[in-house]
Structure 1
């Protein structure tokens, strides 16, 4: 019975991983083999949508602030500070720490926050974000979801996009806390790092 349960769990895990697989072109990304550092930039363009397919970031922020301010008027502003910090640093750190930890097992390549000497740039461009919901209980909660476009760019000619691919819906692990919505999106960026590493391994290992 135990073996059957383990097999079922493995099958489900494999199915989820396959569904979230990031498509890459090994030939177009072969230049990564000769690189040791790739700069990473997270962007949140104006056309990015939130929650529903037609909610803008401005509408999303207003919605979240109103929800957070119902019990405590100051919480909406506190949430916005944390959200802006996450966009600028936290989510990128989540991505970098995950992918670099995985890469360390088989490659010298590292993705970095910013470094003038890098030849190439990876732009992680947001398309859609859903922050999930719920507290500590297992009932009535949902993981965050994220869709982004990955663009590998030659820094000497920024308009030269060497390779671009749109990710499937990335589902992060569940997280909760004072700013659970932000933590859960961070889990999506961690999952993105993990999934991209799986594909890069085919090129670098």
Structure 2
């Protein structure tokens, strides 16, 4: 394998009790030239292909199974309502907060901008609070807002890790999106610096 292809992937690894867990990110197509002069990026979230766990269960299958477990242990909690809040409010909020904290760009959901970032979630391990982090595979694609088929940059994330001091799987999963946003922002800054240095 060529040395350059080895370093196409930006990889960090951590070893715990004999097991390895690897997070990787890769620009699979495009570049950051389109960001020149831009101040804001619209963000949309796409979970249409998202599956859960090693069994790759659908969202409905995961939620149904999890709701039964929660009902046995937390009879007063309506897990489906909790889940809807987690997916529709908490995850977007975590992603946007982290992206805006770590980027010179403003990432928004309620404004029309020249470019749109599609956060497409593909696979997730929810994790187990206290001993097993959540994991996420996702593809982030920057497209023309007026023509969503026109792609400018695509970044693949594999096994992004999420954990928190909280005691629920949902909090762990939300932290996956915060970490993804942080790494995306760092990568964009790095690529923009390289672009300016080559001029």
TM-score, with normalisation over the residues of structure 2? 0.80
2:176 aligns to what? Answer: 188
CA contact (8 A) 1:21 1:195 kept: no
Query: Is 2:148 the partner of 1:158?
Result: yes
Q: CA deviation at 1:182?
A: 0.8
Provide the residue aligned with 2:97 in structure 1.
97
Which of 40, 65, 68 is equivalent to 1:66?
Answer: 68
Identify the residue that residue 146 of structure 1 maps to in structure 2.
136
CA distance in 2, matches of 1:25, 1:64: 34
* RMSD after superposition: 2.1
Q: Which residue of 2 aligns with 1:7?
A: none
Select which of 55, 58, 61 maps to 1:56. 58
Q: State the partner residue of 1:169.
A: 159
Of 95, 98, 106, which aligns to 1:110? 106
Higher helix share: 1
Count of residues in Structure 1 that have an aligned counterpart in Structure 2: 176
Is the contact between residue 172 and residue 184 of structure 1 (CA under 8 Å) also seen in structure 2? yes
Kindly tell me: are residues 88 and 62 of structure 1, through their superposed partners in 2, closer, same or farther at Cα, counting changes over 3 Å?
same
TM-score of the superposed pair, with normalisation by structure 1: 0.77
Q: Give the secondary structure class of the aligned counterpart of 2:36.
A: helix
Q: Which moved more, 1:147-156 or 1:65-74?
A: 65-74
Change (3 A) 1:186 1:72: closer
Q: Distance in 2 between matches of 1:130 and 1:27?
A: 29
TM-aligned CA distance change 1:25 to 1:72, over 3 Å: closer
Is 1:202 matched up with 2:190? yes
User: Is 1:129 aligned with 2:116?
Assistant: no
Q: CA deviation at 1:181?
A: 1.1
Separation in 2 of the partners of 1:167 and 1:183?
19
Which residue of the partner structure matches residue 10 of structure 1? none
Q: Is the 8 A contact 1:143 1:172 kept in 2?
A: yes
CA contact (8 A) 1:150 1:165 kept: yes
Give the CA deviation at 1:176.
2.3
CA-CA distance at 1:26 after TM superposition: 8.9
Tell me the distance in 1 between the aligned counterparts of 2:28 and 2:53: 30
1:37 aligns with 2:40: yes
Measure how far apart 1:23 and its partner are.
1.7
1:4-15 equivalences under 5 Å are: 15=12
Cα 1:15–1:203, aligned 2, differ >3 Å: closer, same or farther? Answer: closer
In 2, Cα distance between the equivalents of 1:25 and 1:54? 24
